[in-house]
Structure formats: structure tokens, C-alpha cells
Amino acid sequence: MNSLISATGLWTPKDSISNDELVAAFNTWSDKFNTEHADEIAAGTIEAKPVSNADFILKASGIKSRFVISKDPILNPDIMAPRIPERSNDQVSILAEIAVKAAKDALAKAGREGKDIDAIIVACSNLQRAYPAIAIEVQKELGAGGFAFDMNVACSSATFGIETARGLIASGQAKSVLVCNPEICSGHLNFRDRDSHFIFGDVATAILVEREDIAPEGAWEILGSKLITQFSNNIRNNFGFLNRGAAEGTSDDDTLFKQNGRSVFKEVVPMVAALITEQLEKCNVPTADIKRMWLHQANLSMNTLISKKVMGKDVDMAMAPVVLDTYANTSSAGSIIAFNKNSDDFVSGDTGLICSFGAGYSAGVVIVRKK
């Protein structure tokens, strides 16, 4: 049985940090560090901290600001991390809470209630805990039936989640599957690393995937999809259960987000362009029929290059919408925010594609047509 995307949902934190605010906090911290360690720096035993620059950030990435769940502590040079108080085990976890907010938005758009859902997948990069699954908590909060589980394919989690949902529907396990992408990326971002402190933001998205016979009017037919992975250490986070077993201790450098951005750029652009092109051919969809590409939101130049390679010409923002200017990289949620905010003008028969890519490496493309 075929599956359709019935609706998507979005929850955005109320606070946002501009590049200027972020850079001011970073530079206050680096100045203070350099003053406090002036003697060691002069003696050459430690390196001076560099300054960050808002113009560099905009030029290198296209990012102007990012939404965050805990603004003030991130901008406090003595903290430079979110502060999210522990909750007792009988309170809903923050990750489940924001997933539910995005989920309710998607359910309302499709005219559904929690009880209509019979499978939930929380598919994201930044899972708050090992178990019980955040998805099972979301299931309880929504009053949904069936079953739920978490999965993590880093920034590609949304497309891998859609494809997993389709598989569950095809095998008869479920008929109405909610895929949630809650991303509190600020939790794993090293705000004291100049190379990456500007990259991520917080958000939650949700995608309702349903069996063809129950999907609402105006749902999105899935013409085809393809997932790929290829191992790379160029984007890595070594945080995990074995950190406490390392007698030598672990550092922020190793247990927070780390990437070799330039290599990622060079290696992922051709991989993703080829993936999209091959899948369009396989689905017999000429590029001329593609009205829009909702791409992962990591870097503006990366998206410009990928869309140019796929379409064989320069494309504008109407063709490849940009949300990373205000949301920054929101990991698995990026392509779904782009879709959520830029698909209302599609009419029956219009075709587009959702594509996500990131750590692993991993990439997924889903070609959709408005019913």
C-alpha cells in the first residue's frame, strides 16, 4: 500500500541570537582568556584564542541568526552553553515536549488527533537520553496507540524517518505514522570553538506519513526515494556511554560537535547532486518538472552548488528556498522547515523533492507530488 505525506508541523523557540550577539559573547570570552593567560601566551606554552567575526560567518555560511531554547546563558561569557534544568522523571522531558508541539501542528493540519496515530518515530541527531525512547514518551503525551521508537541518522534523520514510515505502512505494521525531529542542537555545540560556534540552532518539526486510503485531500504522493551512507569522520560527536569509562577523561573538544567543514563541503556536494539526479531519472521525472527543492540547511553555497548541478543552471531561492539565514543549521529539521514554510503554493500535480544530508556521511532524497 502506498504512503503519502499528509502534513508537516513546526515549533520554533521564541528567542533568537544574531551573529553580532554571538560574536560579541565569543570575543568577550576570548579577550578575557587571553588577558588571564597573557604570560603563558607570551611564553608560547598556550595559544591565544582568536576573535570571531560576524561578516565571516555570513559570507562562509549564509547564517544571520539562530533560534535557541536558552538564550542568555549561551551569551554569558562565563557559561556559553544552554542551561536547561533537570526535570523529575514524572515530568515530560524537554525533547518530548518540543516534539509534541511540532506534532500537534502537523496533526491539526491533517485533521487528526493523537489517537489516530499508530506509530511514532523520533528521528533526530540529538537524543536527550538512551532509554526509554523519547518517541514512547511522545506517544503517551499524544494519547497515540501502536508503537514508537527513536532513530538517529544525524542530519539525514528526517528522510530516513519518512522512508522507515513508508516501510512500516507497506508491511502493514501501521497506517498513520508520525515522524518527529526535535533538535536542541545548542546542547552539543561548543560555543567556545570559533570554527563552529555559529553553526546550529534549536527547533522541532514533525511529518505525518499515512496510508493512501486515509490520507487527507491535498496530501503529498511519494514518487520515490533513495537513502545512502558512506563512512566519514569529518562530522563527529564522540559523546557516549563509554566516556565515563575513559580513565584519562574527556574534553569538550571531543564530546561536542566537531567537523572539518571544508572537506564536508567538497565531499558531500557531489554525492548529494548525484543522488538526486539518479533518483529523478529512476522515477522518470525530468528536472524541468521540479518546481522546488527543499534541501538540508547547512550552508548556503553548498545548496546553491547542489541545485546548480542538479538543474544544470543557476537557480533562485524560489526554487531552492533558504531558511538557514534565520534558523541556522537545525540538523534533521532543516529540509522539513524549508518544506513546511514554502509549499502552500503547490497545486495538484506539482512536483518537488526533499533532500537531507550530513554526518555519517548520510543522505536521503524523497520526491513528492501534490495530489
Ligand X SMILES: CC(C)(COP(=O)(O)OP(=O)(O)OC[C@H]1O[C@@H](n2cnc3c(N)ncnc32)[C@H](O)[C@@H]1OP(=O)(O)O)[C@@H](O)C(=O)NCCC(=O)NCCS
Please report whether residue 182 would count as binding ligand X according to CB under 6 A. Answer: no
Side-chain-facing half-sphere of 64: CA atoms under 13 Å = 4
* Distance in angstroms (rounded) separating the CA atoms of residues 315 and 319: 6
220 vs 339, beta carbon nearer ligand X: 339
96 vs 359, beta carbon nearer ligand X: 359
178 vs 184, beta carbon nearer ligand X: 184
The residue number with the shortest CB distance to ligand X is 261
Please report whether residue 299 would count as binding ligand X according to CB under 6 A. Answer: yes
Please report whether residue 322 would count as binding ligand X according to CB under 6 A. Answer: no
Is the torsion defined by CA of 36, 42, 45, 50 positive or negative? positive
Please report whether residue 237 would count as binding ligand X according to CB under 6 A. Answer: no
* Distance in angstroms (rounded) separating the CA atoms of residues 61 and 260: 14
Least distance (Å) between residue 175 CB and ligand X? 33
User: Given candidates 52, 65, 93, 304, which one binds ligand X under the rule CB under 6 A?
Assistant: 52
Question: Which three-class secondary structure state does DSSP give residue 204?
Answer: strand
218 vs 261, beta carbon nearer ligand X: 261
Is residue 43 left, alpha or beta, with left meaning phi > 0 and alpha meaning psi from -120 to 50?
alpha
Among 3-11, 79-87, 217-225, 295-303, the segment contacting ligand X (CB under 6 A): 295-303
Please report whether residue 265 would count as binding ligand X according to CB under 6 A. Answer: yes
Contacts of 93 (CB under 8 A, 6+ apart): 87, 128, 129, 134, 137
User: Given candidates 16, 27, 34, 53, which one binds ligand X under the rule CB under 6 A?
Assistant: 53
143 membership: H or E segment, kind and range = none
The packing angle between helices 19-36 and 54-61, to 10°, is: 130
* Distance in angstroms (rounded) separating the CA atoms of residues 116 and 120: 11
80 vs 148, beta carbon nearer ligand X: 80
Least distance (Å) between residue 357 CB and ligand X? 8
Q: In terms of DSSP bridges, do strands 147-151 and 176-184 run parallel, antiparallel, or are they unpaired?
A: unpaired
User: Given candidates 4, 57, 184, 189, which one binds ligand X under the rule CB under 6 A?
Assistant: 57
194 vs 211, beta carbon nearer ligand X: 194
Least distance (Å) between residue 197 CB and ligand X? 7
Least distance (Å) between residue 83 CB and ligand X? 23
76 membership: H or E segment, kind and range = none
User: Given candidates 9, 161, 321, 358, which one binds ligand X under the rule CB under 6 A?
Assistant: 358
Please report whether residue 359 would count as binding ligand X according to CB under 6 A. Answer: yes
Q: Which long-range contacts (CB under 8 A, 24 or more apart) does 349-354 make?
A: 350/291, 351/223, 351/285, 351/289, 351/290, 351/291, 352/290, 352/291, 352/292, 352/293, 352/294, 353/276, 353/279, 353/280, 353/290, 353/292, 353/293, 353/294, 354/158, 354/159, 354/162, 354/294
* Distance in angstroms (rounded) separating the CA atoms of residues 341 and 168: 27
Report which residue type is found at 172.
Answer: G
155 as an active site residue: the answer is yes
Please report whether residue 94 would count as binding ligand X according to CB under 6 A. Answer: no
Please report whether residue 195 would count as binding ligand X according to CB under 6 A. Answer: yes
Angle at 179 between CA 177 and CA 180, to 5 degrees: 145
Least distance (Å) between residue 59 CB and ligand X? 8
Contacts of 281 (CB under 8 A, 6+ apart): none
Question: Which three-class secondary structure state does DSSP give residue 315?
Answer: coil
12 vs 331, beta carbon nearer ligand X: 331
User: Given candidates 155, 169, 203, 276, which one binds ligand X under the rule CB under 6 A?
Assistant: 155
Contact mark string toward ligand X, 243..262, x via CB under 6 A: ----------------x-xx
**Which of 124, 155, 185, 283 does the annotation list as catalytic?**
155
Enumerate binding residues for ligand X (CB under 6 A): 52-53, 56-57, 60-61, 155, 194-195, 198, 235, 259, 261-262, 264-265, 298-299, 302, 329, 358-359
| Residues catalogued as catalytic | 155
